[in-house]
A and B are shown apart, each in its own frame.
Chain A
């Protein structure tokens, strides 16, 4: 399903592309030669024919819609099984992993399938979530915010996690001890400023953030803001 669309490449690769992880982002930075050629042809056609232009706009819209779809709220599950199961389900569904208190990590297999055994942990709080590389966005985070006992959150290389998302995380401030944002392409120093709510934080990974304009200085400022937290990030020395 994804392959023919990619080869058609009707739309300029933008952030909204529903890719997992950094692969899609790399392509954005350095488009391959033949891909660029094809794009200019489509571009040319779009400039001259309204239909092509409309088609491309439609695909652009479709991509955005897909991300929204993947991040829709899991309210029905929440009503039936409670917030922990709902949060865990939404993460697993996107290909991430969760750890209930005192249990093993649960992750989907290579094809994205996972067993529903965890439905029995309704009363067990979720203590760690690894959503690295997921298409999680602002509205998808809503499913994680009721996890009041969440201690560790990994959001490495999430293409849709941005500064708005960081300001959205404040309900987790009372429990969160470890947060990793490494490699998120859209997080900048502006969003990191919100982390001052997280005074319980003991470990924060802000390495490899391409949108941070001044990694060395930003790391010093974050360390000043969170004096009790170990900050991993750019080495300025």
Chain B
């Protein structure tokens, strides 16, 4: 009591002195008071931070409803749609586990960024059309208060697919399907092709299909960052760490024909933190496998494919890493502003990059020539031997090109039928796939995320029926082949 009184009086004296001195003193005191008031306000306002004895902010939470493995464009899109389709704000707790927040090896950042509707499967065309409308209205979907609008840098220059005499009939029937689905694609004869793009050598070309709308290329980083920003504002949790183990419970049952089936349910996901042995178990209800090229490994961790061969338990997720090179070259006499993404009859492709006569492109190797996917080094001989001859044959101006740089990335390659895998696993009942898109996953991400969110929340596909993409096709051996893989 006495102390307080003393303090008070000294305080008063101090302030009295403060008043009697010149201005400098009083402002000092004023500043202190303001900061004190600020402190008080801060302690009253919600949203402040605690001071915990141990800093655990880098650890993931102990519980989450949905754990998404892989924070690439597909994983983030699933997170976005889960939050968007939830019935009540904050109803689902979504955790995205990504082992590398710089995305050095992730396919998303290393892709060419193309979007097209020129597919052979109607489902792929629908996915791409939905994604195109998502990307067109990206600032409605991914708007965040106070953040600047996204600039997707979309180049609506279209895809130009060339077919030899052998492939012409298939191309024609594909275009028919594409038009039925609402894609704006036109067919060009070699004559028309020459008059539209005089720089093309039409030797060996019987037919070409050319996308007029919703096709071209965009900046994949912008989509990734835009999704991340939005998803964070919607309350999705992020954690940097690697998923190393699943703890699951199993139930043994008999099916109708008397065989024993083991149904598994993942209870916990172990997330190993970066550069340490520390790991955190996260209890969860649903796991989404969106680990791109590495999703085969994640499936193995969950015990998918380790039964006897020929059974459902022994059916692996056939998604592998496949290394693909992209080369960037300069060619002063090269084709002009109108250049679309050209996919040659040989499989080589290229597109314009910027305005300065730069182009980028590549070619998928044949099955026998697949490079070792152990690292992301670029094989420059591959360009000289396998890509350049085709390019120079198709566009004579490319005789004089100079390669400026190159990079490599991983396709999340589905060795079974080069199509995506979407939906739950029949035995590990709470693992959902969103992977295996074999080089067209970026453009389909917005639509696939929605489909996965629908099947998780509603139990069935609502907007686009993706049942041909279910895992069970690997067991039944029913291929759902996509013919146009670039």
Contact = CB atoms under 8 A, between A and B. Distances in A.
A189 B158 CA distance: 15
Interface string A76-112: 0000000000000000000000000000000000000
B145 A164 contact: no
Contacts of A57: 145
Contacts of A193: 155-157, 337-338
A64 B143 contact: yes
B226 to A, nearest CB: 13
B140 A64 contact: yes
Given A12-B146, A222-B337, A225-B336, 18 more contacts: A12-B145, A14-B139, A15-B149, A48-B47, A49-B46, A64-B140, A164-B156, A167-B158, A167-B212, A168-B213, A190-B153, A190-B156, A190-B157, A193-B157, A214-B355, A221-B336, A221-B337, A221-B355
A217 B355 CA distance: 8
A75 B157 CA distance: 29
Contact of A167 (B89, B145, B148, B156): B156
Interface string A199-237: 000000000000001100110011011000000000000
A53 B145 contact: yes
A60 B145 contact: yes
Interface string A147-187: 00000000000000001101110100000000000000000
Binding site secondary structure of chain B: loop
B156 A166 contact: yes
Contacts of B91: none
A16 interface: yes
Contacts of B143: 14, 16, 60-61, 64
Interface of A: 11-12, 14-16, 43, 46-49, 53-54, 56-57, 60-61, 64, 138, 163-164, 166-168, 170, 189-194, 196-197, 213-214, 217-218, 221-222, 224-225
A53 B47 CA distance: 13
B277 interface: no
B213 A170 contact: yes
B337 A225 contact: yes
B45 interface: yes
B154 A163 contact: yes
Interface in B80-136: 89, 136
Interface string B136-175: 1001100101111100011111100000000000000000
Nearest to A224: B336
Contacts of A214: 355
A56 B46 CA distance: 18
A70 to B, nearest CB: 14
Interface string B12-25: 00000000000000
B46 A163 contact: no
Nearest to B338: A196
B8 to A, nearest CB: 33
Contacts of B184: 170
Contacts of B212: 167, 170, 197
B155 A16 contact: no
B156 to A, nearest CB: 3
Contacts of B147: 12
Nearest to B146: A12
A167 B452 CA distance: 31
B151 to A, nearest CB: 8
Given A167-B213, A190-B153, A214-B355, A56 B145 contact: yes
A55 B338 CA distance: 44
Nearest to A193: B337
A6 to B, nearest CB: 17
A48 B44 CA distance: 11
B140 A16 contact: yes
A211 B48 CA distance: 40
Contact of B136 (A54, A138, A166): A138
B145 A48 contact: no
B146 A43 contact: yes
Most chain A Cβ neighbours within 10 Å, of B143, B214, B336: B143
A46 B144 CA distance: 12
Contacts of A168: 213
A168 B355 CA distance: 22
A214 B216 CA distance: 21
B156 A191 contact: yes
A190 B213 contact: no
23 contacts: A12-B145, A16-B140, A16-B143, A16-B149, A46-B146, A48-B46, A48-B47, A53-B145, A138-B136, A164-B154, A164-B156, A167-B156, A167-B213, A189-B355, A190-B155, A190-B157, A190-B216, A193-B155, A193-B156, A196-B337, A213-B355, A214-B355, A222-B337
A11 B46 CA distance: 22
Given A60-B143, A224-B336, A218 B45 contact: no
A14 B138 CA distance: 13
Contacts of A56: 145
Contacts of A54: 89
Interface string B164-206: 0000000000000000000010000000000010000000000
Contacts of A16: 139-140, 143, 149
A56 B143 CA distance: 11
Nearest to A197: B212
A194 B46 CA distance: 51
Most chain B Cβ neighbours within 10 Å, of A47, A166, A189, A193: A193
Of all A-B residue pairs in the complex, the 10 with the closest CB atoms, nearest first, are A167-B156, A196-B338, A221-B337, A190-B155, A64-B140, A56-B145, A193-B337, A48-B47, A12-B146, A164-B136
A64 B141 CA distance: 10
A163 B151 CA distance: 11
A56 B146 CA distance: 9
Contacts of A189: 337, 355
Contacts of A11: 145
Nearest to A40: B146
Contacts of B155: 163, 190, 193
A62 B106 CA distance: 36
B5 to A, nearest CB: 37
Contacts of A167: 156, 158, 212-214, 216
